[in-house]
Every structure is written in C-alpha cells, then in structure tokens.
Amino acid sequence: MRLLSYFAIFLTLVSLPVVAADWSQFRGPGGNGVSDAKGTPLKWSDTDGLAWKTDLPGPGTSSPVVFGNKIFLTCYTGVPPGRGASLDDLKRHLLCLDRATGKLLWNTPVPADLPEQSGIREDHGYATSTPVADAERVYVFWGKSGVFAFDHAGKKLWNTKVGDKLNGWGSATSPVLHKDLVLVNASVESSALVALDKKTGAEKWRARDITESWHAPLVVALPGGKSEVVAACIKQVFGFDADTGAPLWTCQTGIGWYMCPTPIAKEGIIYAIGGRNPQNGLAIKAGGRGEVSGSHVLWKIGKGSNVPSPVLHDGHLYFASDSLAVAYCVNAKTGEMVYEERLNQSLQGIYSSPVLADGKLYYFGRTGLAVVLAASPKFQVLAENSLENRRGYFNSTPAFDGSRLLLRSNRALYCIGAK
C-alpha cells in the first residue's frame, strides 16, 4: 500500500509542468539583464523563429514580466492621434497572457488621474514603467495616477499616490521589491524615492531630493544581511538604507545630465553610466558613509549611454550608445576600454537595454532590427534579425521566458524561440 502511495506521488510530480525561472521585474532577477538560460534564439524574422505573436490592445514601452505560467504587461488606450488631443478617455491597462500560448487571459483597464501630460516626447507614451510581480500581487507604477497593486486575477487591491508633477518625457521608472516593500523612484512626480508596504500600499519611508533620475531603484546586498538602495541623479549617485530610507552616502559623478540607465551591481561594486555629451561611466564601491567621491570611486570613463542600461559578464561591462549605435566593452576591474565598435548604421537609435544569455548579447534598435553579439571581449557579430520590416516602434527592453525572448512593440508582443 505504501509503495502504491509513493508511486502515485511520483506520477504526480513527473506530470507537473516544468516552469522556467521567473523574470519578474525590469531586466529580470536583480535588474541586471542576465539569464542563465541555455539554447536562446539566434535567428528570427516576421515569418520564422517565433513561438507566438499576440496583438496588443494599445501601445506602450514597458517590458513584459514573467511569473509562474503568466506574463504581465501594460499598455494604454484612449489617446487620439495628434498633439494637444483630448485625454479624457486615457486608460492604462494591465494585461495578463498565458505563458505557453500568448493568449490574452484578462485585461484590467484603469482610468487616468487627469489632467495628464498633454503630449509625450518621441512617442514614449503613457505606459512606460515595467510591472513587478511576486506570488501574491502585481505592482504597477503609472506616474501621477500612482502605484497600483493587483492580484493575479486582475483585481485592484490598492492604489497609492506618490506625487502629482508631470513631465514632457512622461513617467518611466519601474518599481522593484525589497522584503515587504515596493520601492518607487518618483523623481518626476515628487523628487523622491518612496517605499510602500506591499500588502497595504501605506508609505513606509521617503527619501527626498531625487532629481533628474529616470531609472528603476537598484538594491545592493551588503555584508551582514543589510541592503542599500541606489539612485543615480544628475551629477550625483546616492545610497540609502533599503529598510529605513536613511541616507548613507553620496558620490559626485561629473555627469551633468539626467540619468536614465539603471545602475547594476555585483560583488559590492556599483556600475553607473549616463549623460549625453559627453557620456560618462564609473564604478563605485558600495557600503560607504558620507561623501565617498574620493574614497570609493574605483574608476571613471568618458563613455556611456543616454538611455540603455549596461550588463556585466565575466569581468566585462557591456553597453551601447543610444544615438551612435556603437557597442562598448569595458574591463570592469580597471575601466580600460576593450572594444568600441559600430553595430549597424540601420539601428536608428537604441532605447532597449541589452540582455545576455547563453553566450549571446542582444541589442535591439527602435525600428525592430536586432544585433546579436558574442558575449566576449572580442567583438563578434553572430546574427542580425528584424521584425515588422524595420518599420515598427520597439522601445521596450526584452525579457527572457526561459530560453525564449519576449519582445513588445507598439503593436504586438512577440515570443521569439522554439514553439
């Protein structure tokens, strides 16, 4: 009898679906854009190499996130064409799709808190922030309308405002989770970094004077079980206690422009790039106290990027200029430039941050052209691919669904890889 029971349990276990690792926030676990998946795609087109394609009810530049058997994504509707059009019908939508098939499972619309920004520059639109998910909820940031929590069936659980200011570039920063907190960079809305209770939406702490900062908060683990949250702003990078919001350190960067790329960290070192002209980057040792510009900066370089975030792999930092279509590889220990190579003249801008898996580094241009490089300090183009005949609007960073890539345009969500 006991043998039969064990056999029944075994059959149940082997019949359970195998679910690949979740990609539950902007740029995946830790926000670093790196997956340990194998067999990721190399070649695709509008007719080949796609597992599925799902048309979306509206445009957006947020990235998809994956949790369990579901994909969560945002978009917006109700905006007539033309500048100065009425926004009375503006709605944001949280979408849920089946991970295996791309089928739309539910669509929860949320009316905007008006008045809203009358126009968003360069078609960034009104759904730019990427959601973050855990086992109970999906958290979404929609600027002036606030931070929302939904359950996995699309029911709204709470909504908390974090500021009411607007900006011509829209609202873009993506929330991240830390323990029982939702961390939100509300630089546009209230010049603050805000922590909310995951269960209730109640504000737990607020760090002020966060200006010209357009990236997701970065949580850095420190020795002893503590963590700090990092915000890169114009001319400065700040570190705060992730549990309390208490200010820990300040570092002068020399980057006299707003900061869009999300910093990344590994083994206690923070890497931040940004700026327009000149573009700059630097490495900062985490865990400092007070003004650390003279003590914790390991190196600085005169290269960076205005929009895409970097990735780190095997001791090298990889990133690309959004406007020049030039890819860079930097020695992460010394700051030495290893290569500086043009990707493809036809890229016509890069807003998508690169992602890396299986020895491949993926760069996506704004019109749908993608260049796949070897994730190596030796510059090597492995493939070039395109979608929507290079005439689409691809401003979103891709996500990994196991060995497959999820990429959204203003029209559709694509699942690139084996069916």
Q: What is the pLDDT of residues 192-212, one digit of tens each?
A: 999 999 999 999 999 999 999
Q: Which two tokens stand for residue 23?
A: 């990609």
- Provide the pLDDT confidence category of residue 298 given band limits of 50, 70 and 90: very high
Determine the average pLDDT of the residues in 391-418: 97
- Alpha carbon distance 33, 310 (integer Å): 8
| pTM for the structure as a whole | 0.93
- Alpha carbon distance 372, 409 (integer Å): 18
pLDDT for the residue numbered 348: 77
- Alpha carbon distance 329, 36 (integer Å): 20
- Provide the pLDDT confidence category of residue 121 given band limits of 50, 70 and 90: confident
Instruction: Identify how many contiguous H helices and E strands the chain contains and give both numbers.
Output: 2, 33
Q: Which two tokens stand for residue 243?
A: 């549990």
Q: Is residue 187 within 8 Å of 173, Cβ to Cβ?
A: yes
- As to burial, measured by CB atoms within 10 angstroms (0-12 exposed, 13-18 middle, 19+ buried), residue 222 is middle
Direct distance between the N- and C-terminal alpha carbons of the chain, in angstroms, rounded to an integer: 41
The HSE-up count of residue 262 (CA atoms within 13 Å, CB side) is 33
Determine the average pLDDT of the residues in 325-352: 94
- What are the distances in angstroms from CA 67 to CA 24, 54, 138, 402? 6, 18, 9, 11
- Among candidate residues 363, 308, 303, the one with its CA nearest the CA of residue 335: 303
- Provide the pLDDT confidence category of residue 133 given band limits of 50, 70 and 90: very high
Between 84 and 149, where is the model more confident? 149
**Percent of the chain beyond pLDDT 70?**
95
Q: Is residue 136 within 8 Å of 69, Cβ to Cβ?
A: no
Q: What is the pLDDT of residues 231-288, one digit of tens each?
A: 999 999 999 999 999 999 999 999 999 999 999 999 999 999 998 878 899 999 999 9
Q: What fold, for 216-306?
A: Thrombin, subunit H (2.40.10)
Arithmetic mean of pLDDT over the chain: 93
Task: Please state the separation of Cα 23 from the chain's center in Å.
Answer: 10
pLDDT for the residue numbered 83: 64
Partnered with residue 144 across adjacent β-strands are none
pLDDT at 17 over 70: no
Determine the average pLDDT of the residues in 206-228: 96
| Cα three-residue angle 273-274-278, rounded to 5 degrees | 115
Decide the pairing of beta strands 290-291 and 279-285: unpaired
- Alpha carbon distance 208, 187 (integer Å): 9
- Among candidate residues 262, 269, 257, the one with its CA nearest the CA of residue 299: 269
- Alpha carbon distance 195, 173 (integer Å): 14
pLDDT for the residue numbered 124: 87
